[in-house]
Amino acid sequence: MSRLLETVRPIARSYFDGRASPAHDWQHVRRVETNGRRLLSARAEVGDDADALVLGLATLLHDIGRPGEDAGEIDDHAEWGAMEARSVLESVHDDDEKNGTRATLSDATIDEIAHCIRAHRYSTEVEPRTLEAKLLSDADNLDALGAIGLSRVFSYGGERGTPLYDPDVPPAADDSTAGRSSVNHIAKKILDLPNRMYTDAGYREALERRATIEAFLDSLAQELECQELARLVADSPQPDDETREDR
């Protein structure tokens, strides 16, 4: 059944070809896949038995709706992607020519994969209810943190003409949901991501990556001689230090 991953990989990639934003392109999927494998290994070390195939297929397919959402063709890439993934997964199979057998995914497995995709989005109200869904959510959020996370924020903002930073609209005065500048987006969303982690391994790595963002904001505050930015990290949501598996 592991060969299904390589069957699905080019199908998933085809949704991104020629139309994906650099912040949500196929390279993002590959990074999330790497993050997921690392988190999966950490869980295995403590005796948790997550389904690697479910996580792997969900990861490959989790953002297939993103190019359509960015183009204004669909409203919710997670919801659309979960439905589209069902069609993909119902059509693939793993042929064993040596034994003359054909393996397909069960309806229950496809349901689990679809749930992972539906629940992965930051702004979704769908709570991950399985370990695989929690691992995908953590792996995806890790790619929004650290150096790569900063790169994605400014890349995405640049595409949409979002200001880098507007001193007339500091984070404390910004009443928008996502932030009216890229720096405000970091303050409103990115700095709080460690508190949204579901696994201990994800939380620990998120803290390390948040430190990179804090260092960047400190440097930016010094360069711009901006007291509002200097207070940003101190005023931002702080890590909660609770054990993730007890959530």
Res 246: pLDDT: 40
Integer-rounded Cα Rg, in Å, for the chain is 19
Quote helix, strand, coil % in the chain, to nearest 5: 65, 0, 35
pLDDT reported for residue 202: 96
Is the pTM for the entire model greater than 0.85? yes
Round to whole Å and give the CA distance between 164 and 148. Answer: 16
Query: Looking at residue 241, what is its pLDDT?
Result: 66
Q: What 3-state class would DSSP assign to 242?
A: coil
Question: Pairing mode, if any, of strands 94-96 and 101-103?
Answer: antiparallel
Name the β-bridge partners of 198.
none
Show Cβ contacts of residue 73 under 8 Å, excluding neighbours closer than 6 positions: none
pLDDT (tens place) for every residue of the chain, 247 residues total: 578 999 999 999 999 988 889 999 999 999 999 999 999 999 877 667 889 999 999 999 999 999 999 999 999 999 999 999 999 999 998 766 666 666 789 999 999 999 999 999 877 788 999 999 999 999 999 999 999 999 999 999 999 999 999 999 988 889 998 899 999 999 989 999 999 999 999 999 999 999 999 999 999 999 988 888 878 777 776 777 666 654 4
Give me 129's structure tokens.
């209810």
Domains of the chain: 3-126 (1.10.3210.10), 146-246 (1.20.58)
Place of tokens 């903002």: 157
The one-letter amino acid at 110: I
Candidates 140, 134, 145, 143; CA nearest to 62 is 140
Nearest to 191 by CA among 246, 232, 231: 232
CB 129 within 8 Å of CB 119: yes
